[in-house]
A = this chain, B = another copy of it.
């Protein structure tokens, strides 16, 4: 079963666009690590929130990716710009259109 992850992270005021840049810069190894989808977005309704939608080949692939050097570096770089308020939802991906 493919593993989906929906998350938000709250940034300190003015930090959102930098966090988005960091998240989008750390993608190099994701495909090889089993990532099928990694989408970063924002919303006018809450300008300090960053949304991430991910689909992985399995939950184990996602978990292992957190140990990748590029992922760890991105997390370390973004942390000072975040408030620490995270929300996450794990999803069992049943199917759909547009996944590789």
Which of B40, B90, B91 is the one whose CB lies under 8 Å from A94? B40
Decide: A43 and B89 in contact? CB cutoff 8 A.
Answer: yes
Chain B's closest residue to A16 (CB) is B94
Decide: A38 and B96 in contact? CB cutoff 8 A.
Answer: yes
Instruction: Give the number of times this chain occurs in the complex, counting copies.
Output: 2
Decide: A92 and B41 in contact? CB cutoff 8 A.
Answer: yes
Q: Which residues of A contact B (CB under 8 A)?
A: 4, 6, 20, 24, 27, 30-31, 35-45, 51, 53, 55, 89-100
Given contacts A35-B98, A40-B93, 14 further A-B contacts (CB under 8 A): A6-B6, A20-B95, A27-B96, A31-B97, A31-B98, A35-B97, A37-B96, A37-B97, A37-B99, A38-B97, A40-B96, A41-B94, A43-B91, A51-B91
